[in-house]
Chains A and B, each alone.
Chain A
Amino acid sequence: QKEVEQNSGPLSVPEGAIASLNCTYSDRGSQSFFWYRQYSGKSPELIMFIYSNGDKEDGRFTAQLNKASQYVSLLIRDSQPSDSATYLCAAEMNRDDKIIFGKGTRLHILP
């Protein structure tokens, strides 16, 4: 079992709706959490970073962290076709800068 788990999808969401992506992690010592977007054939790009419980908002993106339940989520509001990509969740293990990724969730925004 991977230390960071994601539903592989695909997740299909109508344009303009809210896309909700979820991630769970197994190591309670994990401190920092990341969401990356990766287009096909491209490198991952960091879009959100969170290390405190609660919500963090940046434009159309909101990251949510619940350390007690060991889950992280990403909400994308007003979804656009350009949001269609694979979204990778990652966690930093035990403060030693070891960053582990989940398998990623494929998101399709339907025009």
Chain B
Amino acid sequence: DAMVIQNPRYQVTQFGKPVTLSCSQTLNHNVMYWYQQKSSQAPKLLFHYYDKDFNNEADTPDNFQSRRPNTSFCFLDIRSPGLGDAAMYLCATSRDQLGIDEQFFGPGTRLTVL
């Protein structure tokens, strides 16, 4: 089945230690998104790629970066995680970036910062 895969499902890191979260997709979609979802809150878009074009949300901290080496993979890098970065990180894809396009979500990676 075509799907969005996130690894690992659970990640524990130490305060200030860089961490990378991974997302891959078999849907061959053009757009990939990263959302941050803190406990009992709505998902918040951090950035997205349309093909190789990177689009950063204005309020996304500089501590968060992303890479998309090819169509299938996208990475979220947190350079110096703080306690406030503990959250669920959701990857999503869509075929195109039209407003009607459904976004398909992965199961998420829950990040704990010690």
| A, B co-complexed | no
